[in-house]
Amino acid sequence: MIEQTLAIIKPDGVARNLIGEIIHRIETSGLKIQAMKMVQLSVKQAEGFYAVHRDKPFFPSLTSFMSEGPVVLMILSGENAIQKWRDLMGATDPAKAVPGTIRREFGQSIERNTTHGSDAPETAAFETAYFFGGMERL
Ligand code: GDP
């Protein structure tokens, strides 16, 4: 099934000049970058994006991290794009991620794990609409 998913290169990835490396991995995987922009999120914007985690103990730290510097936001599309991008990223905790995955190779901690990817069709719909307008999501 052709899907869309939201990918983010988080502030730790942008700060360490990993944009090209990560985009190279996306493109060689066969996924298409359908829309892309670089922005610095406000704390409020990060809080809105991660609202499902608002009751978690790491919420203040996570939203502060996500707004500390620019991020790259992308809509990726392709066959099974949601799972495919999560497989390229690896597990949330870089220490537990499969060798060769982005988070295993570049993640610094369970929080500073370099990339984000939607985890289901419903979250992909919410997350792509959170950051991109209708024209970019066609
Ligand atoms: P994901 O779907 O793999 O990104 O994982 P989650 O939805 O569970 O968590 C969202 C983000 O919150 C993760 O990508 C991490 O940046 C951060 N995070 C998750 N678990 C923890 C944790 O236990 N401690 C801290 N500090 N951050 C976490």
Q: Which amino acid is at 117?
A: G
pTM: predicted TM-score of the whole model, two decimal places: 0.98
Tell me what pLDDT residue 98 has.
98
Distance in angstroms between the alpha carbons of the first and the last residue of the chain: 16
Question: In Å, how far from its chain's centre is CA 108?
Answer: 15
Pairing of strands 32-39, 71-79: antiparallel
Tell me what pLDDT residue 134 has.
86
Tell me what pLDDT residue 102 has.
98
- Expressed in angstroms and rounded, the spacing between residue 130 Cα and the centre of ligand 1 is 19
Tell me what pLDDT residue 79 has.
98
Q: What angle do CA 111, 93, 122 make, to 5 degrees?
A: 80
**Residue 110, token pair as written in the block:** 């369970």
pLDDT tens, 38-84? Answer: 999 999 999 999 999 999 999 999 999 999 999 999 999 999 999 99
CB of 116 sitting under 6 A from ligand 1: yes
Give the domains, in start order, of the chain with CATH numbers. 2-39+71-131 (3.30.70.141)
The percentage of the chain sitting over the pLDDT mark of 70, rounded to a whole number, equals 100
**Strands of the sheet with 2-9, listed across from one edge:** 32-39, 71-79, 2-9, 115-117
* 66 Cα nearest atom in ligand 1: 16
Residue 4 has pLDDT above 90, yes or no: yes
Nearest-CA residue for atom 5 of ligand 1 = 92
Active site residue 24: no
Q: Which of 84, 103, 112, 116 is an active site residue?
A: 116
Residue 19 has pLDDT above 90, yes or no: yes
